[in-house]
Amino acid sequence: MVAGGGDRDMLLGRDAPVVEHYAPELLYPIPRSEARRALGITDPLPFSGVDLWHAYEMSWLDAVGRPVARVGRFTIPASSPCMVESKSFKLYLNSLNNMRFPSEDAARETICSDISAVAGADVTLELLSPDDPTLAGGSLHGLCLDDRAVAVPDGEPLGEMLSVRAGEVVEQHYYSHLLRSLCPVTGQPDWATVWLRGRGQPLDPDSLLGYLLAYRRHQEFHEQCVERMFRDLLQHWSPESLTIQAFYTRRGGLDINPLRSTDPHARPLPRLNRQ
C-alpha cells in the first residue's frame, strides 16, 4: 500500500493551514481499484492513457535563495494504482516554496520521486517557464455539440442514453464545452471540455450530448468520470477504436486532463484556451 491513510486524512473539503516546510506526507493517494470495480473495469485494463496535470503555482528557491517560478506538466499513467488527490497535490507543491534546491534537475527529481511514490508508478514532469509558448491554449478538431437542442436529462448518466445508427463505419470526432460534474467530497461543480474520437457506425450526436449533460448532477472524480464515459461508449457504441480526453478548468492552480484510449500510443492534447 502506498502512503496515505483513511478518509479522515483527506484534506479535500477541510480548512488547511499554509505549510512553510517541505511536506511530502501531505500527498494523499486515492486507489483507482474501487471505482473501477464498480464500473466492471478489471485487469487487463480495456484502455491505455494518462492523467495530464498542469501546475501553475510552482515555486522554490535556488542555491542562493532566489525564487524560481515554473509551470509543471505532470504525466501520471492511468495504470498507476492510485490517483493523487488534488488539494493534497496543491498543498504539497506549496510546501516547496521556501525549500532550496541546488538545481532545477534536483527539484524535478525530488518532486517526481514524491509523486511517483504516492501514485505507485513512475511520474514524469516537464518544468516550463511561465512564458513558454507551449502553454498557449489550443482548440479542438471535430463537431462541437453545444448548439444542439438537447435539454439536461433527469437522473444519472447511463450508457443506454447513447444511440447508434446503422451505417458505414467512419472516423468521428466530437467535443463539448458543457461538461459539468460534481466533486464527490465537497459537492462543488467541476467544469470541463470533453473531446472524443472513434471509428465506428454513426453515433447520434444528440444522444451523445444528452449523455454528457447528465453528468451535471453526477458526483465523481475527474479521472473516474472519463473512465465511466469510456466504458459506456465502448459497450453501447462498440467502436473499432476510441479515445476520450477531458480538459478540466483550473482549480487551486491545477488543471487535470485525463486521457483514455484503445490506442496504446495515444498522447494527450495540450491545454485549451478556456484553461
Domain borders along the chain are: 24-135, 143-261
What is residue 14's predicted lDDT score, i.e. its pLDDT? 60
pLDDT value of residue 12: 55
DSSP three-state, residue 145? coil
Question: Catalytic residue among 62, 112, 144, 183, which?
Answer: 183
| Bridge pairing between strands 48-61 and 67-77 | antiparallel
Other Cβ atoms within 10 Å of 26 Cβ, number: 23
CATH tag for 143-261 (out of 3.40.50.10540, 3.90.930.12, 3.30.365.10, 3.30.1130.10): 3.30.1130.10
For residue 6, is pLDDT > 60? Answer: no
Q: 207 falls in which pLDDT band (50, 70, 90)?
A: very high
Question: Which residues share a beta bridge with 143?
Answer: 174
What's the mean pLDDT in 252-266? 97
**Residue 107: is its pLDDT beyond 90?**
yes
Asked whether the predicted pLDDT for residue 101 surpasses 80, the reply is yes
The 10s digit of each residue's pLDDT in 64-96 is 999 999 999 999 999 999 999 999 999 999 999
- Confirm if 76 and 115 have CB atoms less than 8 A apart: yes
Is 190 noted as a catalytic residue in this protein?
yes
What is the distance between the alpha carbons of residues 178 and 169, in angstroms, rounded to a whole number? Answer: 27
- pLDDT of 32: 98
Residue range 153-206, pLDDT digits in tens:
999 999 999 999 999 999 999 999 999 999 999 999 999 999 999 999 999 999
Largest CA distance in the chain: 67
pLDDT at 168: 95
Q: Which helix (H) or strand (E) holds 209?
A: helix 205-213
Q: Which of 51, 190, 232, 255 is catalytic?
A: 190
Nearest to 117 by CA among 92, 142, 96, 137: 92
Average pLDDT score, the chain: 94
Q: How far is CA 17 from CA 14, 88, 220, 230, in A?
A: 10, 12, 26, 38
pLDDT of the residue at 3: 36
* Banded pLDDT at 16 (limits 50, 70, 90): low
pLDDT score recorded for residue 7:
54
Fold that domain 24-135 belongs to in CATH: GTP Cyclohydrolase I, domain 2 (3.30.1130)
Percent of the chain with pLDDT over 90: 92
For residue 54, what are the β-bridge partners? 73, 255
Q: Judge whether 174 and 143 are in contact, CB under 8 Å.
A: yes
Span 238-263, mean pLDDT? Answer: 97
For the chain, what percent of residues have pLDDT higher than 70?
Answer: 94
- Does the structure show a pLDDT above 70 at 135? yes
Please compute the mean of the pLDDT values over residues 234-243 and round it to a whole number.
97
Q: Could you identify the residue written with the cell 517526481? A: 112
Is the entire prediction scored with pTM above 0.85? yes
Residue 84 and residue 118 in contact, taking contact as beta carbons nearer than 8 Å = yes
For the chain, report the end-to-end CA distance as a whole number of angstroms: 34
Backbone phi, psi, residue 26, to 5° = -70, -25
Q: Residue 5's pLDDT is what? A: 39
Look up 183 and say whether it is catalytic: yes
